[in-house]
Structure 1
Amino acid sequence: MILEVAILDVRSGSEAAFEAAFAEARPLIALIDGFLGLELQRCLERPSRYVLLVRWRKLEDHTEGFRGSPQYLRWKALLHHFYDPFPTVEHFQLVNLPP
């Protein structure tokens, strides 16, 4: 499993509109093969900051499958205008540590 992590800084005062747009956008990503789930969490100290955690079966499900899909075009139209600055997206893989 791959964990996509994005810190989303939205324009101050647009948090409610962002959350409404995200609720509309969420079903789009859920249609993508390899999508395993997501969480959107809001920062307590900085209310215009969110962290998006998306679980994918493999990296290419996100980088090629989602980003190359028509759903991504709609996702961008719904969400990208809220970001300032544009988020950095990174991918992580679980480290299996001995007990």
Structure 2
Amino acid sequence: MILEVAQFRLKPGSGPGFEAGVTKAVDLFRRAKGFRGLRLLKTIEDPDAYQLHVVWETLENHTVHFRESEDFREWRRLVGGFFAEPPKAVHCMETVAASPKPWSDHT
């Protein structure tokens, strides 16, 4: 699995419109080959900064299959007008993971 982390700097005050655009675009992602889920995060310290985390089966599912699709062009049409600057994205793979102990282990 690959995690795409996209960072967005928005025009001041355009967060609600951007969030609505991302919500409308969810089905575009759902149709994409290798798509496994997404999460939009708003930065607490800066209301005009967001991150989009998208899980893909492979890097090519994002960089080739989705990026070269009509659905990607529609995604950009829905949200691109809110960008103050071009988005920045990196692709990550998990190397270490942890989670809290199950409740039963705390006794």
Which category of TM-score, normalised to the shorter sequence, fits these structures? Answer: over 0.9
Q: Answer with 1 or 2: which has the greater Rg.
A: 2
Stretches of structure 1 that go unaligned for 5 or more consecutive residues are: none
Aligned equivalent of 1:87: 87
Task: Give, in angstroms, the shift of residue 53 of structure 1.
Answer: 0.4
Deviates more, 1:88-97 or 1:41-50: 88-97
The reply on whether 1:36 has 2:36 as its aligned counterpart is yes
Stretches of structure 2 that go unaligned for 5 or more consecutive residues are: 98-107
Normalized against structure 2, the TM-score is what? 0.86
Task: Give, in angstroms, the shift of residue 77 of structure 1.
Answer: 0.7
Aligned length: 97
Aligned equivalent of 1:46: 46
Task: Give, in angstroms, the shift of residue 96 of structure 1.
Answer: 5.0
Q: Secondary structure at the match of 2:55?
A: strand
Q: Secondary structure at the match of 1:52?
A: strand
Q: Secondary structure at the match of 2:74?
A: helix
Normalized against structure 1, the TM-score is what? 0.92
Task: Give, in angstroms, the shift of residue 70 of structure 1.
Answer: 1.0
State percent identity of aligned pairs.
37
Task: Give, in angstroms, the shift of residue 30 of structure 1.
Answer: 1.2
Counterpart-to-counterpart distance in 2, 1:95 and 1:61: 20
